[in-house]
A = this chain, B = another copy of it.
Amino acid sequence: MPDPGARRGRPGYDQATVLRRAIELFNTQGYDATSVGDLARDLGLTKSAIYHHVPSKQALLSAALDEALDGLGAALDRAVAATGTSASERLRTALEQSVLVLAEHLPAVTLLLRVRGNSEVELAALERRRVVDEQLAGLVRAAVAEGALRDDLDPEVVSRLLFGTVNSLVEWYRPGGPLEPQALARTVASLAFDGLRPPQPHPPAPEA
């Protein structure tokens, strides 16, 4: 977990718990509408007890966004660095890993996807997100260039649609249900690469 500030502690609650509850509140009632007092009441602590754990509300936001971006960034870095494989396989890995990060860090990723750049912390997060998006777009371009992907679709549009599909999972996917993250990741990748049509056992006859 990223460190949301100075190392402080208090028996009964640790920084991780405070961060988890803060992310939940930011997601349900909005970052601006959530005060440190709200967080203290939610946890049954005093405001000064909260400040034993974290220096500021903004530090909690920063730690939450870092959690999401560290995960997504590492997933893309690993995929891009797997140079022994084809760009198409790296793209598939990047997609699957992004889904797994989203499932594992769902509240933090949900918060990240709502960030609009209203502060320096948010602007820095948007910039990191742009780098991750660009890594995915690079993988799409490389896979098209190696002939493994259709070349009739704009790679920029394709990469936006792919990340859009992954990001839309925050709207409905809830870990702990019957759909395992690994199975979801494979479904997303399979749909992206193979589409909805069943495999065609026989190709159409060649044109005369």
Contacts and interface: CB of A to CB of B under 8 A. Distances in A.
Interface of A: 30, 32-33, 143, 147-151, 153-154, 157-158, 160-161, 163-165, 167-169, 171-172, 179, 184, 187-188, 190-203
Contact of A160 (B153, B157, B172, B192): B172
B161 A191 contact: yes
| Count of identical protomers in the assembly | 2
A179 B148 CA distance: 24
Given A151-B198, A164-B171, 10 more contacts: A30-B30, A148-B197, A150-B198, A164-B168, A165-B165, A191-B195, A193-B196, A194-B197, A195-B195, A202-B203
B165 A164 contact: yes
A161 B187 contact: yes
A52 to B, nearest CB: 31
A124 to B, nearest CB: 19
A158 B203 contact: no
A149 B198 contact: yes
A168 B188 CA distance: 15
Contacts of A179: 154, 157
Contacts of A161: 165, 168, 187-188, 191
B165 A171 contact: no
Contacts of A157: 179, 184, 187
Contacts of A199: 150
A207 B44 CA distance: 65
Nearest to A149: B196
A143 B196 CA distance: 10
A203 to B, nearest CB: 6
